[in-house]
Structure 1
Amino acid sequence: MSRHLIDKVAVGWQTLGTDLLDGAPPALLIALTGGEQWASRTLDHLVQPDGSPPRRMTVDQESVITSDFQWGYILRPNGIEVRNVFHEEPGPVVAWSADPRTVCAAPWPAPAARHTRGTPPLATAAPAKATATRTNTRH
C-alpha cells in the first residue's frame, strides 16, 4: 500500500482507483466497486506559480496549522492510523487485515468549532513521520 500511495507518485493523486484493490477477493471487489474498474490517476501537468516543477508536500505540525486539514492518515506496518487534527492523542490504527466494509468508530468527540485557515485547531497532532500529499489526506 505504501509503495502504491507514496513511493510510486511524484506529487499526489487526482483519483485513487480500483488498482488499490488488486489481489482482493472477487466478492469484496464487487461489494466495494459494484464490479466497476478504474485506474488511479496522478496529478500531472502541475507547475508552481514561479513556473518550477511542483514539489511533494510534507505534512508536519506547521502545515497542519496553516492548512484546512481535518484528518490525516499515517501508513504503519500494522495498518493505517487515522488522525484527527483537532485532538492531540493518536488515532486508531485500522489493521491491514480489516474488512474495508467495516465501519470504524472515531474515538474523539466532535470539535466544538471548526478552525479556519491560519487559526490553530483546538489541538494539533504531533508531527507525522510519514510523507503524504494534500490530495490523499484531505477529507
Structure 2
Amino acid sequence: MSTRSFIARPVNGTGYSGIQVQLDGQPSHHLPLLLTAYQYRWARSVEAMTRHLVDDVTVGWDELGTDLLDGAPPALVSSLVGDERWPSRTLDHLVTPDGSPPVRMSVTDATVEDQDMQWGYVLHGSGIEVISLMNEDLGPMVRWSTDPRSAFSDDPAAWSSLAAAPVRAPRTAPAPHAPTAVPRSPAPARTVPHR
C-alpha cells in the first residue's frame, strides 16, 4: 500500500530531520517493526537505530521489512508477521529522467508539507513520536517499552498531540493452570476374615 511516511531524528526542540519511506507508512505496520528493532536488533540504542534508518540511507526507503526483527524471539516475530518475511528495501535503484544520480529524499519539519506525506515517526530518546500529518505537525509519544504486539490505530484523527497515543495492549491468553488436585481421603482399611 502506498502510504507515504518518514522516519526522523529530533532537532532543535520540536523540529526533525529524516528520510522518506514510500510504502506501508501506517502505524499498524511501522510501529511493531520499529519497537521490536529498538528492543532487540539495536539492543535499546536509539542512536544506532537512527544511524541505520535515517543517516546511512543514500536516497530513501521503499519499504521497511522484517529484517528489522532480527534478534527478536521467534514467537514474537511469528505473532507480528506470521510466516511472512520480506527485506527492507532502499530507493538506491531509482533512475532519473536525465540519468543523473537520484537525490536524497530528505524530510524536515519545514519541508514536510510540500511532500505529500501521511505519517511521520520521530525517534526520540523516550519513544517514537507519531505524527498524523493530515491533522497536525506534532504527535503523541509511543514509549520504547510498548509491547510491539499492541494494536495501533491507523485512524489519522486518533493521533492527536493533545491525547495519549491510541494504543491497545495486546490480548494475552491466561496462562494455563495445572489442574488442582483434590486430596482424597484414604480408603478405609478392610479386614479380611481368616478362614
TM-score normalised to the size of structure 1? 0.64
Contact 2:92/2:102 (CA < 8 Å) preserved in 1? no
Matches within 5 A, 1:1-139: 1-85=49-133, 86-88=135-137, 90-104=138-152, 106-108=158-160
Compare 97-106 and 14-23 and name the one that shifted more. Answer: 97-106
Contact 1:4/1:20 (CA < 8 Å) preserved in 2? no
Structure showing greater radius of gyration is: 2
- Cα separation, partners in 2 of 1:70 and 1:37, compared to 1, 3 Å: closer
**1:66 deviation in Å?**
2.0
In structure 2, how many angstroms separate the alpha carbons of the residues matched to 1:87 and 1:16? 24
Gaps of 5+ in 1: 110-139
Compare 59-68 and 8-17 and name the one that shifted more. Answer: 59-68
Name the aligned partner's letter for residue 115 of structure 2. S
**1:108 deviation in Å?**
2.7
Fraction of identical pairs, as percent: 58
Question: Which structure features the higher share of strand residues?
Answer: 2
- Cα separation, partners in 2 of 1:41 and 1:104, compared to 1, 3 Å: closer
TM-score normalised to the size of structure 2? 0.48
In structure 2, how many angstroms separate the alpha carbons of the residues matched to 1:75 and 1:59? 14
In structure 2, how many angstroms separate the alpha carbons of the residues matched to 1:72 and 1:48? 26
How many residues are paired up?
108
